[in-house]
Amino acid sequence: MSAAAEKSPHIPVLIRPLIAAVSPVSGVWLDGTFGNGGYTRALLAAGADKVIGVDRDPLAFEMAADWIADYGDRIETVAGVFSKLDEYGADLDGVVLDLGVSSMQLDLAERGFSFMRDGPLDMRMSQDGPSAADLCNGADEAELADIIYLYGEERASRRIAKAIVAARPLTTTLQLAKIVEGCLPRAKPGQSHPATRTFQALRIAVNNEYGELAEGLMAAERALKPGGQLAVVTFHSVEDRMVKRFLQARSGNTANANRYAPEIEQVTPAWRIEKRKAIGPDEQELAENPRSRSAKLRVAIRTDAPAEAIDPADLGMPMKKKKGGR
């Protein structure tokens, strides 16, 4: 493990309001994004009997090796994806998902997530399968433009995709960041780095993050027992929209849904939502952890209605065009 990973602990975002929203905490919980173990330890401290910690990044459990034994059998770790969380636990009292990229990943240049540190253009959370470099060097220009626009909400996606194709082969993060910077105006003070949206888009595509989220929400519905709680922390508008629409659709309440979205058939409520509005960071958290500024927390309680599948398209999940079609 690198020194950067040891010195840059991941700060759990919205941990205080999350614990307050799901209290009293008891029984068996599943932390679908174990990361540095912040949520897991907070749940155990709040009263959980056991937490099943799931992560697809092998580094997460490597970093936990020096403290996890202190909890004995109160923590069970699973190397896997949260889209399959119902295979790792059943009749759960709670599920927590933190959809942000942890600082332990961003701080390691060799993982290729950051446009501020030079490293291989990787971005794979599981450290296997096709990398961001494979995507940049192998996808055609139109597909790259779609990914950057849909997953990064980048308006200059076509210009950036064209520049990427012209610069192939790409192998490093700073090489890609420089290409994107050359396609966009220089950032003004206070604005995000020009490469932010492109790096986000590629990371989401490489790790199938939106597909994982849609499947993970449905898996949580299958895994939670009646009265069990789901808490999801999101970091940008697409993720929050997907979580919000899922809970609206499966709680039988679509009154506040986007009026342009496809009409969703009314169902027997599988969730009870006590707070319709997402919970954001307070002034104390913003001062302690600026990373929390875009975070939103949504919490829902499982009913005894049967679990059902939902079409990801109904959640506002960005969908790439199929080849040969529009």
Binding residues for S-adenosyl-L-methionine: 37-39, 55, 82, 98, 105
Contacts by 186-193 with C-beta closer than 8 Å and gap 24+?
Answer: 193/115, 193/116
From the list 204, 176, 165, 240, the residue with the least C-alpha distance to 319 is 204
The C-alpha atoms of residue 74 and residue 86 are separated, in whole angstroms, by 19
Q: What is the dihedral of CA 11, 16, 19, 23, to 10 degrees?
A: 170
CA atoms within 13 A on the CB side of 68: 20
Q: What are phi and psi of 230, to 5 degrees?
A: -115, 125
The DSSP secondary structure of 229-286, one letter per residue, reads EEEEEE-SHHHHHHHHHHHHHHTT--TTS-TTSPP-------EE-S--SPB---HHHH
The SS3 assignment for 94 reads strand
72 CB-near residues (< 8 Å, 6+ apart): none
Q: Is 309 exposed, middle or buried (0-12, 13-18, 19+ CB in 10 A)?
A: exposed
- What are the tokens at 217? 């929400």
Neighbours of 288 (CB within 10 A): 12
- Residues making up the annotated binding site are 37-39, 55, 82, 98, 105
CA angle 90, 95, 96 (to 5 degrees): 155
DSSP 90: S
First to last CA, the chain: 46
